[in-house]
Amino acid sequence: MIRKFLSRVFGNKPRGRGEPAVIPHSRHGIRREAISGGSRRVAETLQENGYQAFVVGGAVRDLLAGIPPKDFDVATDATPEQVRRCFRRARLIGRRFQIVHVMMGQETVEVTTFRGHHGQWDGARAQTDDQGRVLRDNVFGSQKEDAARRDFTVNALYYDPVTETVIDYHSGMADLEQKTLRMIGKPATRYREDPVRMLRAVRLAAKLDFSIDEDTRRPIGELASLIENVPPPRLFDEMLKLLTSGHSAQCLRQLRAEGLHHGLLPLLDTIVEQPQGKRFVTLALENTDRRVREGRPISPGFLFATLFWNEVLVHWEALQDGGERPIPALYQAMDETLDTQAEKLAITRRVAGDIKDIWALQPRFEVCSGKRPYGLLEHPRFKAGLDFLRLRAEAGEVDAALEAWWSDFLAADGETRAAMLAQKPAEKKKRRRRRRTVRADAEPGRESTDTEIA
C-alpha cells in the first residue's frame, strides 16, 4: 500500500503497465557531479552517438542511500562492438557475455549491454541444471528486460546523467525509502536460478542497514542447500565481498540465522560453538570491519586465517596428544584444515600460501631471545603474523605480554632490541600451556559484545 503510494509520488507522470517511472532530480536529489567523471563521460558519449546509456546498479542504489559508491557501471543498448567503436581506449572482455572496459584517464568504466531475460528474448529456453540454476544467460535485451533480470528492486535503478533522471521499473525508489530489500519476480525462482542471490540478500541488507522483505527472506531457509551447487570460485568471490563489506560480523550472524553457512563455511558451526573459537572469530570480524571502515587494507589471507584458526588449534592439539612433535603437528593440522575448507570455497593457491605463512609464524613468536627474532622481523608476512598474534592475545589465547614484547621489539632501535633479547620475559614459560584458557582479564569489558555471532 505505502509502496504503491510512494511509487505514485515518485513517478513523474501516470504510466501504463510495464512503463517505468521517470523520476526527476527534484525528487531524488542526485546531481550529475555525484557520479564519477569517467562514467559520466562514457554515458554522455554513448548518448551523443545515438544510444541509450545509464549508470546502473550498486552505484545508483548507494548514492540514493547516501553511501559512497565503490564503482560506477554503465548499461547501454549498444552492442559491445558498437560501444568499443565510440571510444579511443576500450577493450572487449569475456567470451560468453562480452562487456567493454572503457579507460577514461585513471578510471576504467565497465559498460554492459542490456541483457535479456532468458527464454523470453529469442524464444530459447535458458539452460538450467536440475535445481533450476541458470547455466547460460547471455542474450542481449531491452532496458526493461535488463531491469527484470537484476536481483533486487533497489539494484534496478538507472541514472541518466544527461537528464538527471532515475528510471525505475520495479518501484525501487519506494523500497529505498522504506529501507527494504525486495527481490524482483518470484523470490524462490530467482534463488533457484542463482543461489548466490541469497548471499547477496544477506550482504546488501547488512551493508545498507535494510530489512529483507518477508517474501524475499522466507524461501532462503528452505533453499539454503542450493549454495552447494554454485561453482567454488564464485563462492569464494562472494564470501570475500561479504567478509570485506565492513559488516562481516553482522553478515555471518545472519548467514548462520538463515542456515546459509553450511555450504560455505562448514567449520563455522564448530568454531562458534566453542567459547574460545567464538570469541576469537568475533574479535577478528570486528577488527576487520573496523579496518574496512577506516579505509585500511585487509588481506584475504589474514581473514581466512582468522576464520579457520580455531580448527587448526584443535587438530594441532590432538596430533600432539598423539605423540607428534609440535611443528610437524602444526603443519599437518594446517593442511587438514585447509583441505576441508578449500574444497568448498576454492581458496586460491596464493591466498592459501598467505594463510599458512600467518599460521606458521605463530610458534616462532614464542622465541624472544638469541638471533631468531631478527630473522622473524625480516619475514615478508611478519606484520600480518603480529596482527594475528595481537588478536590471539586479545582473545586471551596467548599472554598479552608476548604480543607487547614483539610490538616493542619492532618499534625499538638496534640497541634497545639487543637489550630486550638479553632479558627474559618472566611469563615466557607459562605461555604455551595457557593457549586454550580464556582469560577473563584479557581485556576488561570485552568478555561479551553485542556483535558476537550468536
Q: Which of 11, 20, 38, 57 binds ligand ATP (CB under 6 A)?
A: 57
Instruction: Kindly indicate which of the ranges 85-93, 150-158, 227-235, 316-324 contains the residues binding ligand ATP, using the contact rule CB under 6 A.
Output: 150-158
Residue number with the smallest Cβ distance to Mg ion: 58
In angstroms, rounded to a whole number, what is the distance separating the alpha carbons of residues 442 and 391? 11
Q: Which of 113, 153, 155, 341 binds ligand ATP (CB under 6 A)?
A: 155
Name the binder of 171 from Mg ion, ligand ATP, none, CB < 5-8 A by kind.
none
- What angle in degrees, to the nearest 10, is found between the helix axes of 349-361 and 300-321? 60
Judged by beta carbon, residue 292 or residue 421, the one nearer ligand ATP is 292
Q: Which of 101, 241, 417, 428 binds ligand ATP (CB under 6 A)?
A: 241
Q: Does 223 engage in binding with ligand ATP (CB under 6 A)?
A: no
> Which grid coordinates belong to 126?
535458458
Q: Which of 151, 258, 354, 387 binds ligand ATP (CB under 6 A)?
A: 151
Whether the CB-CB separation of 194 and 133 falls below 8 Å is answered with yes
Residues annotated catalytic, as ranges: 71, 73, 151
Phi, psi of 395 (to 5 degrees): -80, -5
Q: Does 113 engage in binding with ligand ATP (CB under 6 A)?
A: no
Which residues have C-beta within 8 Å of that of residue 247, sequence separation ≥ 6? 203, 206, 207, 289
Name the binder of 197 from Mg ion, ligand ATP, none, CB < 5-8 A by kind.
ligand ATP
Instruction: Kindly indicate which of the ranges 50-58, 141-149, 361-369, 413-421 contains the residues binding Mg ion, using the contact rule CB under 5 A.
Output: 50-58
Which residues have C-beta within 8 Å of that of residue 150, sequence separation ≥ 6? 57, 156, 184
Q: Does 58 engage in binding with Mg ion (CB under 5 A)?
A: yes
Smallest distance, ligand ATP to C-beta of residue 66, A: 14
Judged by beta carbon, residue 150 or residue 381, the one nearer ligand ATP is 150
Q: Does 200 engage in binding with Mg ion (CB under 5 A)?
A: no
Judged by beta carbon, residue 198 or residue 355, the one nearer ligand ATP is 198
In angstroms, rounded to a whole number, what is the distance separating the alpha carbons of residues 143 and 326? 61
In angstroms, rounded to a whole number, what is the distance separating the alpha carbons of residues 141 and 117? 7
Q: Does 173 engage in binding with ligand ATP (CB under 6 A)?
A: no
Q: Does 141 engage in binding with ligand ATP (CB under 6 A)?
A: no
User: Which positions from 178 through 217 interact with ligand ATP, judged by CB under 6 A?
Assistant: 194, 196-197, 200
Judged by beta carbon, residue 241 or residue 379, the one nearer Mg ion is 241
Smallest distance, Mg ion to C-beta of residue 170, A: 18
Judged by beta carbon, residue 150 or residue 315, the one nearer ligand ATP is 150
In angstroms, rounded to a whole number, what is the distance separating the alpha carbons of residues 35 and 423? 58
Name the binder of 150 from Mg ion, ligand ATP, none, CB < 5-8 A by kind.
ligand ATP
Smallest distance, ligand ATP to C-beta of residue 341, A: 23
Instruction: Kindly indicate which of the ranges 24-32, 148-156, 222-230, 436-444 contains the residues binding ligand ATP, using the contact rule CB under 6 A.
Output: 148-156
Q: Does 68 engage in binding with ligand ATP (CB under 6 A)?
A: no
Strands 90-93 and 53-56: unpaired
Name the binder of 241 from ligand ATP, Mg ion, none, CB < 5-8 A by kind.
ligand ATP
Smallest distance, Mg ion to C-beta of residue 61, A: 9
Closest CA to 11 of 159, 174, 134, 160: 174
Q: Which residues bind ligand ATP (CB under 6 A)?
A: 57-58, 70, 150-151, 155-156, 194, 196-197, 200, 241
